[in-house]
Amino acid sequence: MGRFLLYVCIIVLVAYALPGKATVSESRRHLSATETDLQRPRLVSDEDVTVSSLSRNRYAEVSSEKAVVDGALLLDSKDHLERLASSPLEIFDMWMKAFGKEYEKEDEKAKRYKIFMENAEMVKSNNQDPSSTFVMALNQFADMTLEEFRSFSLGLNYPNDKKLKSNGASPFRYANAHAPASMDWRKEGAVTEVKNQGMCGSCWAFSTTGAIEGINKIKTGKLVSLSEQQLVSCDTEQDMGCNGGLMDFAFDYVVQNGGIDTEKDYGYWAWGLPCQSRREHDRPAVRIDGHEDVPVNDKDALRKAVANQPVSVGICASSALQFYHSGILTDKSCCQDLNHGVLVVGYDDTDSNGAHWIVKNSWGEQWGESGYFKLSQESSKPAGACGIYQAASYPVKDDTSNPEVPEICGLFGFTECPLHQSCVCNFDVFGLFCLFWGCE
């Protein structure tokens, strides 16, 4: 009896220490409170934010008493520029407060302040340039160097031999498809909420799930948010979890595994945790039949593909993307060596500011245009702006069905119910934690 009570106490303590099944949304809330350096920004309150309407090259005036706009410091008003010059620490403290930043040691704060000021100078220079087509802001990454940013917030591992692939080397089912003047899969309900990869080089996993979520919605009519954590933890034969991966390899894994679990069931933690084999093998909620690559260096081919489904792409993320706030990124602000996986969810050829791609990122909703950015379709380089035409691919789903998934019970998933039965708690501790599960 004593040993039994000891076990009960241990389980209860663990239950209090660990949250339950964490979705990406819940993980973002948890991570932002504990690992604020790279997570979704937490604004002090709605009253601290002044929302401005931003055009392509001109920036709306911000209240002289407010420097935080849409969750970022724009440094576009005369008053804010003067305050940056006369009271830079005040601006830094304002930014720290807006994003919940704290530094344990003074020398670390001094280091981050120096980096912040260097980044502020770059943001100011871009936003004062009348030829700039986009706005930069001091967002949640403002105390990081470009090298630090690339180490923690990207994660595309693009092998050199992939570049040897020639146009038409793999099947391309949309070669003869019609592409309208504009397309936005968000309006079709085929795009889940913007997620946050956190301090983990797992962009490739988010690009992969986004593409599968899209084609699954198109084929079945159901939008289901899928598990990035399963890819990070279990897809380890060719991908490397938080140390990077490639969408093509992840599509292959999903096919070989017989599908992928949902985000709700296998939540995201932004860590390379051990694979939960039961959830990996027993709970593939959405399956695909393969994937195809878009012909490289072919803008029209990418347009045709995106006209039919959201498409995973690799791009080169530079400091311009690190501090992007709104507008259209072009060749001038891009690099070409692929290091980041994202999802193209649409395009617009009719925008008076220029034809562009609509791209979903994985750095939270407070970054960029509510988590999205626009990338120009026009480029002097064969690979396109930011190299977007080098590594585009999409999953293939031939039917409208998915596997039936049994319900799994409790935090640890020790009990799994047969199909068409649900979990029932047979014994709990004060209604807070279930010790013994059953099915009915």
Please list, in sequence order, all residues whose beta carbon lies within 8 angstroms of the beta carbon of residue 196, skipping any fewer than 6 positions away. Answer: 24, 27, 28, 31, 39, 40, 362, 363, 364
Q: State residue 407's pLDDT score.
A: 82
Banded pLDDT at 251 (limits 50, 70, 90): very high
- The average pLDDT across 435-439 equals 91
Banded pLDDT at 169 (limits 50, 70, 90): low
Q: In this model, does residue 57 exceed pLDDT 70? A: no
Element (H, E) at 122: helix 106-128
Of 167, 177, 171, which is closest to residue 297 (Cα–Cα)? 167
Q: State residue 27's pLDDT score.
A: 42
Span 136-160, pLDDT tens digits:
999 999 999 999 999 999 999 998 6
Q: Cα–Cα distance between 96 and 272 in angstroms, integer?
A: 29
Q: State residue 79's pLDDT score.
A: 72
Span 320-358, pLDDT tens digits:
999 999 999 999 999 999 999 999 999 999 999 999 999
Answer yes or no: are the C-beta atoms of 359 and 347 closer than 8 Å. Answer: no
Greatest mean pLDDT range, 9-23, 152-166, 420-434: 420-434
Q: How many CB atoms lie within 10 A of CB 139?
A: 26
Q: How many CB atoms lie within 10 A of CB 351?
A: 14
Greatest mean pLDDT range, 25-29, 54-58, 240-244: 240-244
Q: How far is CA 128 from CA 78, 134, 135, 265, in A?
A: 11, 11, 9, 47
- Residue the block writes with tokens 């509510």: 370
Which residue out of 200, 203, 409, 434 is catalytically annotated? 203
Which residue out of 361, 386, 402, 434 is catalytically annotated? 361
Number of helices (H) and strands (E) in the chain: give both, helices first.
12, 15
- Residue the block writes with tokens 């990406």: 24
Banded pLDDT at 435 (limits 50, 70, 90): confident
- The average pLDDT across 9-22 equals 39
Q: In this model, does residue 55 exceed pLDDT 80? A: no
Backbone angles phi, psi at 423, to 5 degrees: -70, 140
Span 174-205, pLDDT tens digits:
999 999 999 999 999 999 999 999 999 999 99
Banded pLDDT at 16 (limits 50, 70, 90): very low
Of 334, 311, 290, which is closest to residue 392 (Cα–Cα)? 311
Q: State residue 208's pLDDT score.
A: 98
Q: In this model, does residue 24 exceed pLDDT 90? A: no
Please list, in sequence order, all residues whose beta carbon lies within 8 angstroms of the beta carbon of residue 263, skipping any fewer than 6 positions away. Answer: 23, 24, 209, 225, 226, 227, 228
Which one-letter amino acid corresponds to residue 278?
Answer: R
Q: State residue 52's pLDDT score.
A: 29
Q: Give me 409's structure tokens.
A: 């019970």
Q: Give me 12's structure tokens.
A: 């209860």
Please list, in sequence order, all residues whose beta carbon lies within 8 angstroms of the beta carbon of residue 313, skipping any fewer than 6 positions away. Answer: 207, 302, 341, 342, 343, 344, 359, 388, 391, 392, 393
Please list, in sequence order, all residues whose beta carbon lies within 8 angstroms of the beta carbon of residue 372, skipping any fewer than 6 positions away. Answer: 194, 345, 358, 359, 360, 361
Q: State residue 74's pLDDT score.
A: 76
Indicate if 203 belongs to the active site. Answer: yes
Q: State residue 69's pLDDT score.
A: 57
Q: State residue 406's pLDDT score.
A: 83
Q: Cα–Cα distance between 414 and 422 in angstroms, integer?
A: 14
- The average pLDDT across 374-379 equals 97
Which residue out of 291, 325, 340, 356 is catalytically annotated? 340
Q: What percent of the chain has pLDDT over 90?
A: 68
Q: How many CB atoms lie within 10 A of CB 271?
A: 16
What is the pTM (predicted TM-score) of this model? Answer: 0.82
Q: In this model, does residue 429 exceed pLDDT 80? A: yes
Element (H, E) at 249: helix 247-257
